[in-house]
Structure 1
Amino acid sequence: MYAEWAPERDLAGRVACLWRRVGEREGTLLVVPDGCVDLIWGPGGPFVAGPDTGPVPSRVRPGDVLFGIRFRPGAVGEFFGVPLQDLRDQRVPLTDLGTVPSLAGALDVPDLDPEAADPLAAVRAAVVARLRQIPAPDPAAPAILAGLRAGRGVREVAWQLGLSERHLHRRTVASFGYAPKTLQRVARFQRALRLARSGVAAADVAVAAGYADQAHLSHDVKRLSGVTLRHLLHGG
């Protein structure tokens, strides 16, 4: 069972959602790239997930409870005290991020009580306090993402923002953990998923999401998720 809810006002600019997952049966959950970074509490304690460039199988057991805080793409900034690209395709225990010992100490709650009225209350307070201590994320990040999501080329996005392509690359990696082309591929993939889940036919998804054709869509979906679009939608 999975549920998510919107963050309070003091987190809304940096956090996409808070979420909770309860394992109902033994299995493997396929996590696919979405441009986000998650701070997660599982049976082994808190850890950082992502940003991903490919599929990450995650083993789930009955009764496992996970809570997460999902940062918006480009909104993590210096929260974890390490370059975001160092966390790319990684699952890192929070206590291993020695650059932010005060944060790790405040958030090292190995077993959040799923029966509590608000099990994430103390966690949210610690996250808010940390955000107040660090600089705001790159103000260009939303425009970079919007331009790449719209299908514009890297050169065009750089020109629109008054940046060189090298400068755009550096700021994109710092903000998202990805190079611009990878970020564009992930954003297009997520748009395709949203369209397909809304009932749009695969051939129409390819056009609407900005792929050259359906074969291009199929190739990118397999590259980023390891499975077909049909499998992502229906599990087989």
Structure 2
Amino acid sequence: MYAERASRLTGAVVWTSTPEGPGGKPVLPDGCMDLLWSEGRLLVAGPDTRPHVPEGRPRRWAGIRFFPGTAPALLGVPAHELRDVRVELADLWPAARVRWLRDRVEAAPDPATALEDIALEQAERTTAPDPLLHRLVKRLDEGRPVSATAAELGLGTRTLHRRSLAAFGYGPKTLARILRLQRALALARSGTPYAETAVRAGYADQPHLAREVRNLTGMPLGELLGGG
């Protein structure tokens, strides 16, 4: 079973997942990075460009999902170095500190809240994310073209691409595609007909929606929704 709530850290989401069957559901690209706990391990989920299928037996998970572009400053690593991978937090932070944090999470009544507390403490030690990144996400999530967004933000396309790699793990065009995918999935899951979903999410037509869903998730839209 999956559950989530808004975090006390601006823009973030705190979530938990417990096994309901023999196989885990794929994690779809969403523009975000997560700090994760699972049965004695602390990990970081980098930004995905393809579905991530959990390996091994089903496990209990807790996590905090950061607003797009904000995790690299908190973790101290450019997002593109973690693209499409899950890594141990001890690969990024001193091992002694990670052991202490792991023990803290393990001893907490709610691991998800313990992760949230760690993220809030880290945010207090870290320079606040560039507000330009938040505006970039907002504009692209509204369906604005990348070139127009770059001009509006006063950035050249090369500068925007370089900053996007560090903040999101990929260029602004890929970010725009992933945000559009998430808009479409939200509409389709709410019962909006596929043709209307395509138009409202910003696709040229329903076949365009179908191609993009398959390209980014590895599944046709109907199968994806039926499985979720």
What TM-score comes out, normalization by structure 1 length?
A: 0.88
Q: Which residue, out of 71, 90, 93, partners 1:76?
A: 71
Contact 1:48–1:91 (Cα < 8 Å) also in 2: yes
State the Cα RMSD in Å.
2.1
Distance 1:122 1:215, change over 3 A: closer
In structure 1, distance between residues paired with 2:47 and 2:155: 24
Q: Which residue, out of 203, 207, 214, partners 1:211?
A: 203
In structure 1, distance between residues paired with 2:85 and 2:176: 20
- How much does 1:206 deviate? 0.7
- How much does 1:166 deviate? 1.1
Distance 1:182 1:89, change over 3 A: same
Aligned letter for 1:138? D
Q: Which residue, out of 67, 89, 92, partners 1:94?
A: 89
Larger mean Cα displacement after TM superposition, 172-181 or 185-194: 172-181
Contact 1:95–1:108 (Cα < 8 Å) also in 2: no
Q: Counterpart of 1:124?
A: 116
- How much does 1:185 deviate? 0.3
Structure 2 unaligned regions, length at least 5: none
Q: Which residue, out of 34, 52, 56, partners 1:38?
A: 34
Contact 1:21–1:67 (Cα < 8 Å) also in 2: yes
Q: Counterpart of 2:143?
A: 151
Alignment partner of 2:80: what SS?
helix
In structure 1, distance between residues paired with 2:24 and 2:162: 35
Determine what percentage of the aligned residue pairs are the same residue: 46
Structure whose residues are more often strand by fraction: 1
In structure 2, distance between residues paired with 1:176 and 1:85: 7
Aligned letter for 1:3? A
Contact 2:7–2:116 (Cα < 8 Å) also in 1: no
| 1:7-86 pair list within 5 angstroms | 7-8=7-8, 11=9, 13-15=10-12, 17-43=13-39, 45-59=41-55, 61=57, 64-86=59-81
Alignment partner of 1:79: what SS?
helix
Q: Counterpart of 1:104?
A: 98
Cα offsets for 1:17-50 (capped at 9, x unmatched): 1111111221131111001111111135111112
- How much does 1:112 deviate? 3.1
In structure 1, distance between residues paired with 2:81 and 2:16: 26
Alignment partner of 2:25: what SS?
strand
In structure 2, distance between residues paired with 1:87 and 1:112: 25
Distance 1:170 1:58, change over 3 A: same
Distance 1:148 1:119, change over 3 A: closer
What TM-score comes out, normalization by structure 2 length?
A: 0.91
In structure 1, distance between residues paired with 2:47 and 2:41: 19
In structure 2, distance between residues paired with 1:232 and 1:218: 11
Moved over 6 A (4+): none
Contact 1:77–1:137 (Cα < 8 Å) also in 2: no
Aligned letter for 1:4? E
- How much does 1:110 deviate? 9.1
Cα offsets for 1:147-173 (capped at 9, x unmatched): 212222221111111111111112222
Match status 1:191 vs 2:180: no
Aligned letter for 1:83? P
Q: Counterpart of 1:227?
A: 219
Match status 1:168 vs 2:160: yes
Structure whose residues are more often helix by fraction: 2
